[in-house]
Amino acid sequence: MASDGGFLNHALDEDGSEMTRNETVVNPNSEITFRPSRRASRTENKRTHPSYFCPACNAQCKATVFRRHTQKCCPDIESAVGKEAWMTEDMDLIMVKAQKHANEMLEEMKRLAFTDGARMSHAEVAQTLNVTELRVKNALRLHSKSIPLNNDTTPVEVIFENEDILVVNKPPYLRTHPIHRHTGTSLINRCISHLGGKECYIVHRLDMDTSGVILFVKNPLLTRGFAEQFMTREAKKTYLALCVGVLPLGKEEVQAFEVNAPISSCNKCKEGRAVSFATDDLEAKESRTTFDFFSWKKDDELAIDSLPTERARGVSILLEGTENTNVEKKNESGSWNPISVAALVLASPKTGRTHQIRVHLAHAGLPILGDMLYGPHARWVVPRCDAWSDDSTSKPRYKWSADKPKGKWAKDGLDLDRQALHAYRLEVTHPLTNERLSFEAPLPDDMKKALDVLGIDY
């Protein structure tokens, strides 16, 4: 016998007919009481007490708190509805008036922000219409989301595809997503066209000039499961970087090394990031990357005079069979013994900071070829480290691009217009099947050509 208060899916009436679970009946010959299920109660509550969406911010509210919400969120809508309509408590009438005013205000916001000569800022639009800046931001954001993304019929290089995910090889010089929804020319626009106009979802990104493997989710129910893996670092990403500089600690036998150096904003270039060990730097965040040499070539002609002349702080050699060794190795005189090399390096970020791989490699003395912010030819923006504070960097040149390579670096194939960084491998776990998935993207042609010119195996 079921205990009092138990919920049964169904029961039979005295005449043998089945009673629904929403009926409450007390059998005089039994202590069993059939009560409505919690789901049925919630369904009934939604039917008798429906919710309404705010036309300004799309928040869901009960009728009893709808007016109070509009007074805080969008006073202009509360005023436009009028006292008489509010007194009737007729939500159909109230919603018609509220939506009409919201539509009229949205048209004015769009006209002022986008189509009336010089574009106005959110603050200027808010001041003109006598509403809050947050009101303008919310309205224009909802309007933007209602615009479908444009299709870009340029084909994509598909690495893997099934009913849940789409994995492609992103080419360089292409954004992962568009700057505005009404513009195209991004990777997701091409993926939408590939899927016949169906939407797909972004769970991670690559910089515009970085090529390689990237995953999009087709099943919206799996978006959160994949996205959380990138936030918690469960997803494993491996990059290939073509670097030019010196071997860490000046040792030819080094096969792997680690950079454990905090990354902060750069005081010489607002677009850049920099290593900072300053204890009073509140922006500095813990950052760690491990590197393995795929192949490298010693070449004294590759020396770059802007590279550090001392050991970079936070760089340590990783020995086989150990997690980390933080010992310094110098020659007998105790001075730095730089060995100039060009190298293809495997990079595995353990944290997720902006430009992390690029900053850490530059800090270690192996900047990425072609990197306009941190590369071997960009002397005007460097990590904030004593080893880099020579006279040549004390007066930075504030301009977007670095000097064009000269001499050997001007050779065809080495004058890249982007950083030679490629997302080589991606490993994730399927949220439903718990299967570990691994995808690899082949190197792009520009990096292959540069490797051939430098004589490096890949």
pLDDT tier for residue 175 given thresholds of 50, 70 and 90: very high
Convert the pLDDT of each residue in 100-148 to its tens digit: 999 999 998 988 887 655 678 888 898 899 998 989 988 888 887 777 7
- 257 and 216 in a single domain? The answer is no
**Residues for the chain: how many in total?**
458
Residue 458 lies in a domain: no
Residue 438 lies in a domain: no
Quick count: other Cβ atoms within 10 Å of Cβ 80?
17
Range 169-194 burial, b when 16+ CB lie within 10 A, else e:
bbbbebbbebeebeebebbbbbbbbb
- 132 and 170 in a single domain? The answer is no
Residue 64 lies in a domain: yes
Distance CA 81, CA 87 (A): 10
Radius of gyration over alpha carbons of the chain, in Å? 30
Range of the structural domain that residue 65 is part of: 51-145
- 59 and 40 in a single domain? The answer is no
For 223, phi and psi rounded to 5 degrees? -60, -50
Convert the pLDDT of each residue in 315-325 to its tens digit: 776 655 434 44
- 74 and 179 in a single domain? The answer is no
Convert the pLDDT of each residue in 416-450 to its tens digit: 888 999 999 999 999 999 999 999 999 999 999 99
Q: Region 24-28: what's the mean pLDDT?
A: 48
- 263 and 399 in a single domain? The answer is yes
Residue 18 lies in a domain: yes
Phi/psi-derived region of residue 82, left when phi > 0, alpha when psi is between -120 and 50, beta in every other case: left
Helix (H), strand (E) counts: the chain: 11, 19
Convert the pLDDT of each residue in 236-246 to its tens digit: 999 999 998 88
Q: Region 221-250: what's the mean pLDDT?
A: 90
* 165 pLDDT more than 90: yes
Tokens of 195: 């899927």
- 380 and 264 in a single domain? The answer is yes
- 76 and 113 in a single domain? The answer is yes
The mean pLDDT of the chain is 78
- 31 and 64 in a single domain? The answer is no
- 314 and 375 in a single domain? The answer is yes
Distance CA 256, CA 200 (A): 38
Q: What integer pLDDT is reported at residue 392 of this predicted model? A: 38
**The CATH number of the domain where 162 resides is what?**
3.30.2350.10
Residue finishing a domain among 123, 145, 167: 145
Residue 212 lies in a domain: yes
Contacts of 10 (CB under 8 A, 6+ apart): 18, 19, 20, 21
- 251 and 216 in a single domain? The answer is no
- 250 and 115 in a single domain? The answer is no
Residue finishing a domain among 114, 145, 176: 145
- 288 and 384 in a single domain? The answer is yes
Distance CA 126, CA 213 (A): 42
pLDDT tier for residue 226 given thresholds of 50, 70 and 90: very high
Q: What integer pLDDT is reported at residue 405 of this predicted model? A: 55
Nearest to 245 by CA among 298, 287, 293, 294: 298
Residue 152 lies in a domain: no
- How many domains does the structure of the chain reveal? 4
Residue finishing a domain among 200, 231, 262: 231
Residue 360 lies in a domain: yes
Compare 145 and 223 and report the one with higher pLDDT. 223
Residue 331 lies in a domain: yes
Q: What integer pLDDT is reported at residue 410 of this predicted model? A: 60
* 354 pLDDT more than 80: yes
